[in-house]
Amino acid sequence: MSKMPSYKRGKRAAAAPSPRLPAFALDNLSAEQHALVEAIKSGPRGRFQNEGPFAVYLHAPGYGKLAQALGGYLRYHTSLPPRLKEFAILCTAQHWKAQYEWHAHAPMAANDGVKETTIRNLKAGRPAKSAAKDEMAIYEFVKEVYAKRRVSNAAYVRLRKIIGDTGMVELVGILGYYALISMTLNVFRMPLPEGTPLPFAEPRI
């Protein structure tokens, strides 16, 4: 039997908090909720999972329909390669300690070519020194934006040389959208699948 990748392992540092929103049964949805589910199923994701941010969207389906459309575009239709998109998403998930977001996207990042060593370093909050050159440019850009709410010319120009003007606009969109998702997951305490260890220590507040 093959060894499970280390980014999936970990001990539950604290009990997961209880979700703040009740779950909807998919056989008892309103017309607007059905429209949201069908929009997600017919889009690039190809299916609806009644968990994570999508379970939250069912409580405000009009808003959810717009939000998921933006997310679908940013995840599947930008000029950035999947590896760099997933790397940027992991940087955001780590910053916000978004449990579900990390759980969902760490395997995707690995599948798209981000090194497991890089994923482990990101998760632990260590500098991603094992990352590829283009990933490091994103890492430094993201860390600066989140720390200073601005970005230096040096970090901007370095990354722009790699992904261009269109890529820069799209990357900022990705960071903003997944910060929104992180806040959504954290505020409403969306759970991981039963039995899944929390990627990060859950703060006691």
Number of residues in the chain: 205
Regarding whether 170 and 91 lie in a shared domain, the answer is yes
Chain centroid to Cα 56, Å, comes to 15
Is 191's pLDDT higher than 90? yes
Cβ proximity of 89 and 143 under 8 Å: no
Regarding whether 143 and 118 lie in a shared domain, the answer is yes
Burial 109-128 (b: 16+ CB within 10 A, else e): bbeeebeeebbbbbbeeeeb
In a domain, 46, yes or no: yes
In a domain, 172, yes or no: yes
Among 40, 58, 77, the domain boundary falls at 77
Regarding whether 136 and 102 lie in a shared domain, the answer is yes
In a domain, 162, yes or no: yes
- The lowest-confidence range among 9-18, 71-80, 152-161, 174-183 is 9-18
State how far the Cα of 78 lies from the Cα of 166, in Å rounded to an integer: 9
Regarding whether 88 and 177 lie in a shared domain, the answer is yes
* Per-residue 3-state assignment (H helix, E strand, C coil) for the chain: CCCCCHHHCCCCCCCCCCCCCCCCCCCCCCHHHHHHHHHHHHCCCCCCCCCHHHHHHCCCHHHHHHHHHHHHHHHHCCCCCHHHHHHHHHHHHHHHCCHHHHHHHHHHHHHCCCCHHHHHHHHHCCCCCCCCHHHHHHHHHHHHHHHHCCCCHHHHHHHHHHHHHHHHHHHHHHHHHHHHHHHHHHHCCCCCCCCCCCCCCCCCC
pLDDT band at 127 (very low <50, low <70, confident <90, very high): confident
Is 9's pLDDT higher than 90? no
Number of domains in the chain: 2
Between residues 203 and 25, which one has the greater pLDDT?
A: 25
pLDDT band at 192 (very low <50, low <70, confident <90, very high): very high
Closest listed residue to residue 179, CA positions, set 76, 48, 35, 70: 70
Cβ proximity of 80 and 50 under 8 Å: no
In a domain, 10, yes or no: no
pLDDT band at 109 (very low <50, low <70, confident <90, very high): very high
In a domain, 102, yes or no: yes
In a domain, 11, yes or no: no
In a domain, 110, yes or no: yes
Which CATH number characterizes residue 119's domain? 1.20.1290.10
In a domain, 119, yes or no: yes
Tell me what percent of the residues of the chain surpass a pLDDT of 70.
93
pLDDT band at 10 (very low <50, low <70, confident <90, very high): very low
Regarding whether 71 and 126 lie in a shared domain, the answer is no
pLDDT band at 17 (very low <50, low <70, confident <90, very high): confident
In the predicted model, what is the mean pLDDT of residues 94-120? Answer: 97
pLDDT at 16: 80
In a 13 Å sphere around the CA of 92, the CA atoms on its Cβ side amount to 26
Regarding whether 89 and 65 lie in a shared domain, the answer is no
Query: Mean pLDDT of all residues in the chain?
Result: 93
- The lowest-confidence range among 41-45, 116-120, 127-131, 192-196 is 127-131
pLDDT band at 129 (very low <50, low <70, confident <90, very high): confident
pTM: 0.91
- CA–CA distances in Å: residue 100 to residues 108, 134, 145, 179, 193: 13, 26, 23, 13, 9
User: Which range marks the domain in which residue 45 is found?
Assistant: 29-77
pLDDT band at 203 (very low <50, low <70, confident <90, very high): confident
Regarding whether 89 and 162 lie in a shared domain, the answer is yes
